[in-house]
Amino acid sequence: MPPRLIVACGVPAAVAARARAEFDARIAEDQDMTISALLQAAGDHQAQAVVVTSAQKMTAEVIGRLPASVRIIATSSVGYDHIDVAAAQARGIAATNTPGVLTECTADFTFLLILAASRRAREYGAIMQSGWRQRYGLGDALGLRVSGKTLGILGMGRIGQAVAARARGFGMRVLYCNRSRLPPDREHGAEYVAEFRALLPRCDILTLHAPAGPQTSRIMNAETFALLPRGAVFVNAARGALVDEDALIGALASGHLFAAGLDVFASEPDYDLRLRDLPTLFLAPHMGSATIETRNAMGFRALDNAAAVCAGRDPIDPLWH
């Protein structure tokens, strides 16, 4: 008998096809299942494995209501702040994520945000949408040069390192802040700055790649934005919980920040619409990993984890040991 699986989130067709071929699978149609639909489906199907996305909050309460048949929660994401891992462990339910497979596309997207914010992509797009028709003088609507600038990276995990590698191609000087210094072969020529507050005044551009959690909650706030030099560019493709959005709005509205690029928000999808009204803020709807190749790889990796645990093997990407 193939293992019983719930895919509670919308996945690419290739991932759904593989889930159907290798599991006795129930799969969310176009939309992610609500938590109550997920619990209902898991109970009805006596699921052994549940695949979720970061939009589905697997709190201790939700995990406590999963049927006893469930042996693994496999999230199709690298971030796992939406899963109460201790609660899963307490019930002996494996929890896994998908590290590695989304590193390159998320780093690419970070550069999209850096370039779009610095080079005023949102404003130029709006000008073209409205028909253009009026020449700009050589001194009008100017952006900021990216190449050769100093880039600060908070969080030098896989994605931070991939951003640092790309920054070298732009001739940038890279500084990073991380819980600990990396071995030199993984630093990509970047300079370690142990103190976040010491890093900030040195950044022309700051990008966040740290996980959400108590230590990073609203790490960008009125005080830390003020420590960036006037005219800095700020980018976040990690988690919205790292940013006090009131403080970001203030820093953009006052002109302290030249521009910003956000792929993630404190509240998703119902993000704070005041952000929409800031022309120097380039916005994307949490799409850092959203390429055909990467979303397939993430889904396949979640299925690999589910298959391993259902077959009695260790998970490939365990979140607890």
Q: Give 190 or 302: the residue with its C-beta nearer to ligand 8YV.
A: 302
In three-state secondary structure terms, 61 is: helix
What residues does 27 pair with on adjacent strands?
A: 7
Which among 73-81, 177-185, 187-195, 228-236 is the span making contact with ligand 8YV, rule CB under 6 A? 73-81
96 binds ligand 8YV (CB under 6 A): no
Between helix 103-118 and helix 158-169 the angle, nearest 10°, is: 50
Binds ligand 8YV by CB under 6 A, chosen from 11, 51, 78, 107: 78
Question: Does 286 qualify as catalytic in the annotation?
Answer: yes
> Of the two residues 99 and 143, which places its CB atom closer to ligand 8YV in the complex?
99
Verify binding: residue 53, ligand 8YV, rule CB under 6 A. Answer: yes
Site for ligand 8YV (CB under 6 A): which residue of 48, 54, 103, 110?
A: 54
Q: Which candidate in 123, 187, 191, 268 is catalytic?
A: 268
* Residue closer to ligand 8YV, measured from CB, 15 or 248: 15
Select from 12, 43, 67, 79 the one that contacts ligand 8YV (CB under 6 A). Answer: 79
The b/e string for 136-170 (b: 16+ C-beta within 10 A; e otherwise) is eeeeeeebbebeebbbbbbbbbbbbbbbbbbbeeb
Active site includes 268? yes
Q: Which residues contact 119 (CB under 8 A, 6 or more apart)?
A: 143, 144, 146
Q: How far apart are CA 211 and CA 230, in angstroms?
A: 26
User: What's the DSSP call for residue 141?
Assistant: S
- When the beta carbons of 11 and 42 are compared against ligand 8YV, the nearer one is 11
Q: Which is nearer to ligand 8YV, 109 or 176 (CB)?
A: 109
| 45 is an active site residue | no
Please check whether residue 36 is in contact with residue 16, taking contact to mean a CB–CB distance below 8 angstroms.
Answer: no
For ligand 8YV (CB under 6 A), the number of binding residues is 10
CB 84 within 8 A of CB 108: no
- Would you count residue 76 as binding ligand 8YV (CB under 6 A)? yes
Q: How far apart are CA 18 and CA 12, in angstroms?
A: 10
Site for ligand 8YV contains 77 (CB under 6 A): yes
Quick check: helix, strand or coil at residue 27? strand
Residues 248-287 that bind ligand 8YV (CB under 6 A): 286
43 lies in the binding site for ligand 8YV (CB under 6 A)? no
Q: Which of 37, 156, 159 is closest to 97 using CA atoms? A: 159
Residues recognised as catalytic: 239, 268, 286
- Which residue ranges make up the site for ligand 8YV (CB under 6 A)? 53-54, 76-79, 102, 286, 288-289
